[in-house]
């Protein structure tokens, strides 16, 4: 992804702050706050290891000829591998949320994730609320997985249980 594309993605947010590096609890974030994670390249090792762990040995992931016959340029990575990598990029980012647990995912697969794609994740706070336990809250985060060309490969929302300063 070019520097210009990355900047356009960051500036795409209509409201909110671009979050600098740091650790944030529920009180520190507001709807519209956003950031872009670092990137990583999806490798054949990722795909093969994920296939072994998940048991998903579907031909589109394991066989170039089968993937090409299905209209792809080559093997494609598992969609759920993309979700797992997106969550990992979120977790290892310099912008850290005081997470206690992930509560749910609502996710869409928009375009194939290819071996060799370099992905980044744009993360935006959609909403937040305090739970019955006032020392905790739930943030709704929108995640958008982008490849090196700025194309949206996957996106969706997650509910994140976080600490909350009383």
How far is Cα 68 from Cα 46, in angstroms, rounded to an integer?
Answer: 20
pLDDT at 59 over 90: yes
What residues does each domain of the chain span?
Answer: 3-163
How far is Cα 164 from Cα 138, in angstroms, rounded to an integer?
Answer: 9
Q: What is the mean pLDDT of residues 31-55?
A: 98
The predicted-structure confidence for 87-101, as pLDDT tens digits, reads as follows 999 999 999 999 999
The predicted-structure confidence for 24-41, as pLDDT tens digits, reads as follows 999 999 999 999 999 999
Label residue 121 by pLDDT band (50, 70, 90): very high
Q: What is the mean pLDDT of residues 105-120?
A: 98
pLDDT at 54 over 60: yes
**What pLDDT is attached to residue 13?**
46
**What pLDDT is attached to residue 166?**
72
Q: What percent of the chain has pLDDT over 70?
A: 92
Q: What mean pLDDT value characterizes the chain?
A: 94
**What pLDDT is attached to residue 15?**
79
With b meaning 16 or more CB within 10 Å and e meaning fewer, what string describes 121-133?
A: bbbbbeebeeeee
Please state which CATH number belongs to domain 3-163: 3.10.129.10
């Amino acid at each position: 992804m070019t520097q210009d594309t990355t900047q356009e993605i960051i500036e795409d947010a209509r409201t909110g702050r671009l979050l600098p590096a740091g650790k944030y609890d529920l009180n520190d974030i507001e709807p519209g706050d956003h950031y872009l994670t670092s990137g990583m390249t999806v490798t054949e090792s990722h795909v093969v290891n994920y296939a072994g762990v998940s048991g998903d040995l579907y031909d589109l992931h394991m066989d170039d000829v089968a993937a090409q016959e299905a209209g792809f340029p080559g093997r494609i990575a598992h969609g759920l591998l993309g979700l797992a990598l997106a969550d990992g990029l979120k977790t290892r980012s310099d912008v850290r949320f005081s997470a206690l647990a992930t509560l749910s995912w609502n996710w869409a697969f928009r375009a194939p994730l290819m071996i060799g794609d370099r992905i980044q994740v744009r993360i935006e706070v959609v909403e937040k609320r305090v739970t019955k336990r006032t020392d905790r809250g739930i943030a709704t985060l929108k995640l958008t997985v982008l490849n090196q060309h700025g194309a949206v490969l996957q996106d969706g929302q997650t509910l994140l249980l976080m600490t909350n300063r009383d």
